[in-house]
Structure 1
Amino acid sequence: MPKYITFDAYGTLLTWTLEHAVEQILGDRIKQIDWEAFQNEWHVARWNDILIEYRPYETMMRRCFGNMLRKYGVDFTEEDCDAMIANITNWEPFPDVPPVLRKLREYCKIVIISNSEDRFIEKNIEKIGVPFDDFVTAEQARAYKPAHKVFNYTLKKLGCDKSEIVHCAQGFEFDIIPAHELGWKAVWINRGGNPGDKAYGPYDELPDLTGLPGLLGI
């Protein structure tokens, strides 16, 4: 049984509804663009941004969102960006998350590792409704996953060895690949039913958190 179970937050514990929120924010303006192409390109742009250098999460998200809207010729205001950022703290936990976390924390310490900022994660934890023993953010590590710096910072902050941790996440590129590279035990929470890659194994795979206690012998 691990001493620590670490979790990615967005898409693993909390629903990722950013694109849906932006649809509501843009309203009729969305009709003038290829929305599917916009979403795909925005995803790639966010990925590229975090690989370049560290910027605060809100700064990065605002910059990337604004750049994409300008590229697609969509008129927008700072209020649109404000609404997009505000939505981050409104994401709800998946239904399986609170009961599983309550059970796990009876036996292990639970920790979030997120590409976010402290103030957002604090609000996200309130939404989950289960106390965490600690959390690590990009703001603290001054880097974004998949950078190894985030995982090494986590070990230093928790004062533990990687052998004492099991990391659980839905982001294959952000979490499972770096976990493999660093020799961390990992559980891929494959909520989307996506194809994996055993070249980055060994890792366990679950469709949600429901089977996690049994997998860990709890």
Structure 2
Amino acid sequence: MARDIYKDRLDPSRMDAFLRDFGFYRYDEVLGAWKPYDEVIQNALRRTCERWGLGYRDMEGQQLYEAIATWGPHADVPEPLVQVGQSFPLVILSNASDDQIQSNVARLGASIHAVYTSQQAHAYKPRLQAFEYMIDNLGCTPSDLLHVSSSVRYDLMSAHFLGIQNKVFVNRGYDPPIPAYEYHEIANLGGLPKLLGL
């Protein structure tokens, strides 16, 4: 979406670096006290534009935020998720807002046992408070969980710190692998059923 918005104002050769910085600012925006997700996106985009000397327009931040609810899962997600969901209860812990999450969940095609958002927890991942909210509401312990994520920064570090021993890193190239966090690594979600012996 950001590529679309800024294609006429940013040289294509610089777009990857702009998006990298936007990702860093989004991460920074979720580390403090909870605020609505549209503010997270808008603040991160504004800060990125300021760093890059591009004029920030409120409507662009809102446009990007509204687009999130229209995005579907990666192509490799629905089929294995349905398969895993037949044997294990699936739980989502998302940084999306309550008004966005249901449209994203519907696109997964799998039966989801529970959905928790940062809005409900009043904390964004990677903050431990978000994970603790999920664990408390599930009435389980960290040892009961298998945490699957494509983000070391947002998910797997926090899961490790909380004592979730069963972790899977779906390496989509978003974060560099950090094996010290003791996870199984797969290239896409298609590898999850086999990892679980299904």
TM-score of the aligned structures, taking structure 2 as reference length: 0.89
Whole-angstrom distance in 2 between the partners of 1:193 and 1:42? 13
CA deviation profile, 1:122-144 (whole Å, cap 9, x unmatched): 11112223331111111111111
Q: Which amino acid aligns with 2:122?
A: R
Partner of 1:16: none
TM-score of the aligned structures, taking structure 1 as reference length: 0.82
The alpha-carbon deviation at position 193 of structure 1 amounts to 8.3
5+ unaligned residues in a row in structure 1: which ranges?
1-20
Q: Does 1:83 align with 2:63?
A: yes
Partner of 1:136: 116
Partner of 2:150: 170
Whole-angstrom distance in 2 between the partners of 1:43 and 1:198? 22
Partner of 1:200: 181
Partner of 1:120: 100
CA deviation profile, 1:22-52 (whole Å, cap 9, x unmatched): 1212331223994343222222222222112
The alpha-carbon deviation at position 92 of structure 1 amounts to 2.0
Do the aligned partners of 1:26 and 1:80 also contact (CA within 8 Å) in 2?
A: no
Q: 2:171 aligns with which of 190, 196, 206?
A: 190
Q: Compute the RMSD of aligned alpha carbons.
A: 2.1
- Say which SS state the counterpart of residue 132 (structure 2) adopts: helix
Do the aligned partners of 2:152 and 2:175 also contact (CA within 8 Å) in 1?
A: no
The alpha-carbon deviation at position 117 of structure 1 amounts to 0.9
Question: Which aligned pairs between 1:156-167 and structure 2 lie closer than 5 A?
Answer: 156-167=136-147
Q: Which amino acid aligns with 1:146?
A: P
Q: Which amino acid aligns with 1:58?
A: D
5+ unaligned residues in a row in structure 2: which ranges?
none
Partner of 2:76: 96
Distance 1:44 1:216, change over 3 A: same
- Say which SS state the counterpart of residue 35 (structure 2) adopts: coil
- Say which SS state the counterpart of residue 45 (structure 1) adopts: helix
Partner of 2:31: 51
Whole-angstrom distance in 1 between the partners of 2:192 and 2:167? 11
Identity of aligned residues (%): 30
Comparing 206-215 with 37-46, greater Cα deviation is found at 37-46
Of structures 1 and 2, the one scoring higher in RCO (CA 8 A, sep 6+) is: 1
- Say which SS state the counterpart of residue 90 (structure 1) adopts: coil
- Say which SS state the counterpart of residue 135 (structure 1) adopts: strand
Whole-angstrom distance in 1 between the partners of 2:11 and 2:173? 27
Partner of 1:30: 10
Distance 1:63 1:194, change over 3 A: closer
Whole-angstrom distance in 1 between the partners of 2:108 and 2:99? 15
Do the aligned partners of 1:148 and 1:182 also contact (CA within 8 Å) in 2?
A: yes
Distance 1:209 1:34, change over 3 A: closer
- Say which SS state the counterpart of residue 108 (structure 1) adopts: coil
Do the aligned partners of 2:72 and 2:107 also contact (CA within 8 Å) in 1?
A: yes
Q: Which amino acid aligns with 1:182?
A: L
- Say which SS state the counterpart of residue 128 (structure 1) adopts: coil
